[in-house]
Amino acid sequence: MSSQTTIVEPTGDQVAAIVDPLIQDNPQIGVAVGVVGGDFDDNGAIYYQGALVNHAGDPLPLDESTSFEIASVSKTFTATLFALLGSRSTDVWNGTLAQYQPSGTDPLYPDYGDLALRWLATYTSGLPRDNSDPTDQPKPLPQPYTVADMYGYLSQERFPVDPQDTTYLYSNLGFALLGQSMLAAAGKPASTYPALLTRDVLQPLGMTSTAPIGAVPADQMPLGFRADGSKAPIGWPQNPAYVPAGGLVSTPADVFTWLAFNMGLVDDAALKPLLALTQTPQTTVKTLNGSQLGLGWFLSTMSTPGGTQPFVWKDGGLAGFSSYLAFLPSSDPGSAQSAGGVFVLTNSHIPSGRIALNVLRVMLGYPYVSGVDAAQLDTDRLI
């Protein structure tokens, strides 16, 4: 572990030096970089680089209220909701999909119904990436793909499931099922997963601009760009079943709050104690590169001039968008604050993880890594 303890707030010029080389070839790419620390003025700042247009090609403001698809960062919200309901009930914490199946859905094939909610939250349920479909989408995919459709598929389809809590397998399907299970697990009913998440997590934290894809009008959404530079449609608006896995949009202001909360900087009597669950290993299974698994979050290390530095992180990516949150681990999550953290939101497939970890290096007092050598920071492609 690194002995480095001094955290410094990066300047706008330092952030620009990291971001600008990655966006200079596309004048319609925008990047929001937030830095958070309890010792920073106002707990940190958000820096903006580039520019945006909406899906009609009209200029779109790039500021704290701009909506970005946060993709799989959505899983950290679902994991927190599970931690909340699981902390209230051991039955939920130890529950299975069959026990907490939404009403009005078809009975699950036993191999799926026996899956434990806890292992869904740690990517160790044994479910394949997504119904064995290489495009990361369930088949068949009617429009809209509803919660009933998803459970109907799993009442009929047969595909192999690995033994639980033995193998790391990243599954959007798993988190989609976990989130929808929370509807049945909630002590007070809610109509949909987004309604439950809003009531129990977003509202208590004052996050008013986080919602499912499709809730924000297209003329207020940035146009996204794929890695090859082509334009991308708005992601998953007709896939309500998968909102818990990757279907949220959020703003830099709300993501700043979410990062600050996970760093222990936001006091909430019900939610803050959950950080001890979400940010500590909940299984002995590790990823291929040795990262440990909390609830939704990955617990990794990176090399710095001062030694090996642990950090907690989660990334997200849908066609035309990428996001990344990373922060230094707390010595006692839920009680002691993290020293520093960073988030990156962008309407492109530039390496958001590389940006985030370079900024984190600057916060630790080290120089950022540029050029070809910066590829060593792309932990998101190693998981």
Confirm whether 3 is domain-assigned: no
In this structure, the answer to whether residues 136 and 222 fall within a common structural domain is: no
In this structure, the answer to whether residues 264 and 311 fall within a common structural domain is: yes
CATH number at residue 350: 3.40.710.10
Domain total in the chain: 2
In this structure, the answer to whether residues 172 and 231 fall within a common structural domain is: no
Question: What's the rounded mean pLDDT across residues 62-74?
Answer: 98
**Higher confidence at residue 9 or residue 2?**
9
pTM (whole model) above 0.75: yes
Question: What pLDDT is stored for residue 79 in this prediction?
Answer: 98
Question: What pLDDT is stored for residue 156 in this prediction?
Answer: 83
Question: What's the rounded mean pLDDT across residues 345-365?
Answer: 96
User: What's the start-to-end Cα distance of the chain, in Å?
Assistant: 21
| Amino acid symbol at 79 | A
In this structure, the answer to whether residues 258 and 313 fall within a common structural domain is: yes
pLDDT at 134 over 50: no
Which residues, in sequence order, are bridge partners of residue 379?
A: none
CA–CA separation, 66 vs 4, rounded Å?
Answer: 35
- Average of per-residue pLDDT values in the chain: 92
Confirm whether 33 is domain-assigned: yes
pLDDT at 138 over 70: no
**Higher confidence at residue 239 or residue 374?**
239
**Higher confidence at residue 103 or residue 361?**
361
CA–CA separation, 364 vs 328, rounded Å?
Answer: 10
Q: Look at 70-74, 84-88, 101-105, 126-130 and tell me which has the smallest mean pLDDT.
A: 126-130
What is the percentage of the chain residues whose pLDDT exceeds 70?
93
Confirm whether 1 is domain-assigned: no
CA–CA separation, 314 vs 246, rounded Å?
Answer: 12
In this structure, the answer to whether residues 82 and 148 fall within a common structural domain is: yes
CA–CA separation, 70 vs 315, rounded Å?
Answer: 8
In this structure, the answer to whether residues 230 and 375 fall within a common structural domain is: yes
Q: How would DSSP label each residue in 318-357?
A: ETTEEEEEEEPPPSSTTTSPPS-EEEEEESS-S-HHHHHH
pLDDT at 207 over 90: yes
* pLDDT class of 379 with cuts at 50, 70, 90: low
Question: What pLDDT is stored for residue 212 in this prediction?
Answer: 96
- E strand or H helix at 301, and its extent? strand 298-304
In this structure, the answer to whether residues 165 and 295 fall within a common structural domain is: no
In this structure, the answer to whether residues 54 and 123 fall within a common structural domain is: no
Question: What's the rounded mean pLDDT across residues 90-94?
Answer: 98
Confirm whether 4 is domain-assigned: no
* pLDDT class of 4 with cuts at 50, 70, 90: very low
In this structure, the answer to whether residues 191 and 222 fall within a common structural domain is: no
Confirm whether 84 is domain-assigned: yes
In this structure, the answer to whether residues 368 and 220 fall within a common structural domain is: yes
Confirm whether 5 is domain-assigned: no
C-beta of residue 271 within 8 angstroms of C-beta of residue 76? no
Confirm whether 166 is domain-assigned: yes
In this structure, the answer to whether residues 48 and 138 fall within a common structural domain is: no
Q: What is the 3-state secondary structure (H, E, C) of 271-300?
A: CHHHHHHHCCCCCCCCCCCCCEECCCCEEE
pLDDT at 140 over 70: no
Question: What's the rounded mean pLDDT across residues 72-91?
Answer: 98
Question: What pLDDT is stored for residue 25 in this prediction?
Answer: 85
In which domain, by residue range, is 349 found?
Answer: 12-74+216-239+248-381
In this structure, the answer to whether residues 56 and 96 fall within a common structural domain is: no
CA–CA separation, 383 vs 371, rounded Å?
Answer: 22
Task: Look at the alpha carbons of 333, 199, 78, 60 in this order and tell me if their dihedral is positive or negative.
Answer: negative
Which of 202, 229, 262 finishes a domain? 202
CA–CA separation, 104 vs 23, rounded Å?
Answer: 47
pLDDT at 301 over 90: yes
Confirm whether 198 is domain-assigned: yes
Which of 178, 202, 226 finishes a domain? 202
Token readout for 170 is: 């990243």
Question: What pLDDT is stored for residue 3 in this prediction?
Answer: 37
Q: Look at 174-188, 298-312, 350-364, 365-379 and tell me which has the smallest mean pLDDT.
A: 365-379
| Amino acid symbol at 137 | Q
Token readout for 377 is: 């920071």
Q: Look at 36-45, 175-184, 366-375 and tell me which has the smallest mean pLDDT.
A: 366-375
